[in-house]
Structure 1
């Protein structure tokens, strides 16, 4: 079951009044004793006169942003949520090359089977909310820079990727990337991958980041006119080759 912990603003956004009666998607009925909910926190703000909803997974701090929804339209929110989540996991698994197309489908089927049910509850976690506030800040910056938020269906996934490639830390713990944390959690819980396999995925992602950094450095060197016989250029090439070697499949 998906369990969305809703801040007061999210609960209000998920409510509407029809024929004088208030209707809300928020249901605080206790969960069944055997429920194993997957916890997300939901927060709402107004940006550029639009409802903007931020959903963040409590453990991995993976965030997705939705906007332009009508007040009380929980159905559209859920549709976009499941669709966006599935796409992100497919892309993340594809980027690492750790699962075949059939295995990716199996992982998603298991996730949807276990979490097809959902519940919106009132309440929030202060630590999660701190990271949500940072996401909201990026949303406001995007509107200030571009005049609007990205398209809610096609460009939104790219905006989510930007948000989840950043570095976060929970209560002074080790730093991590939300995208990597979500992928590894899903590989463990829905693809049956053991800790050794997950460690290999983390190392591969680390190598990819090294490679991207080395390529960025080389591009900067070309712009600055750094010659190939310069020791700094040789060092960058060495780092790039090293990253490419560690990123290969074994």
Structure 2
């Protein structure tokens, strides 16, 4: 089950005013961690998987810009051309880009993926075909989302433009998700893209925890080798 925790600004933006019924609901609890126990799927069963996202809307250069952030990884995404009241369009665009971004990151690991992009999409929808929109905010996540919003405003002011379309928005996503962050739920500093990728591969990519640990160790070894090569190059230049 996908949970979209909405700020008031986003809730007002995404509600279909013509529908006559509010789709952004009152949450079952102020604590998102309680959702797995309190919510039920359309089949009346407790959700086997719960994935929490925070959603906010800001106005930049007179345009509504929607920002989403995954609670655990702080992975964020930007949308600058969503239509007001189009909840289905928002979910579709968000999942499509997330799938494409994570499959691209999987290919960048340098080994054949265990699951195709179609298999990943199937696993994603199998686990999260049910959605809920709640008027609720997690303070720490919202604080990080506000930082992303300020970054967007600064870039828009500097360039006198906004990212347009999925490709340019994805470039902004990549910039934000490779910015080191910290949170009370994690003992060390982390990069949102890395945390998201490991979760993605575990949940939708066919990797076991042992397989992900192997990939992490390979990535760390590659990073150490790259840093050593850079250091050796600096020493060589200093000796000239």
**Within 2, Cα distance between the matches of 1:28 and 1:99?**
44
- Against the structure 1 CA distance between its residues 62 and 4, is the aligned structure 2 distance closer, same or farther, given a 3 Å change threshold? same
Cα offset, 1:137, TM superposition: 1.1
Cα offset, 1:115, TM superposition: 1.0
**Within 2, Cα distance between the matches of 1:198 and 1:42?**
29
Cα offset, 1:34, TM superposition: 1.0
Structure 2 unaligned spans of 5+: 29-38
Instruction: Pick 1 or 2: higher relative contact order, CA cutoff 8 A, min separation 6.
Output: 2
1:191 to 200, 205, 210: 205
- Residues 22-171 of structure 1 correspond to what in structure 2 (within 5 A)? 22-28=20-26, 31-32=39-40, 33-35=45-47, 36-100=49-113, 102-171=115-184
CA RMSD after TM alignment: 2.7
**Within 2, Cα distance between the matches of 1:5 and 1:169?**
21
- Against the structure 1 CA distance between its residues 74 and 217, is the aligned structure 2 distance closer, same or farther, given a 3 Å change threshold? farther
Tell me how many residue pairs correspond in the alignment.
224
3-state SS, counterpart of residue 67 of structure 2: strand
Query: 1:38-75 CA deviation, whole Å, 9 max, x = no partner?
Result: 11111111111111111111111110011232321212
TM-score of the aligned structures, taking structure 2 as reference length: 0.81
> What's 1:242 paired with?
none
Cα offset, 1:159, TM superposition: 1.1
> What's 1:17 paired with?
17
> What's 2:192 paired with?
178
TM-score of the aligned structures, taking structure 1 as reference length: 0.78
3-state SS, counterpart of residue 154 of structure 1: helix
Greater gyration radius: 1
3-state SS, counterpart of residue 121 of structure 1: strand
3-state SS, counterpart of residue 64 of structure 2: strand
Structure 1 unaligned spans of 5+: 234-250
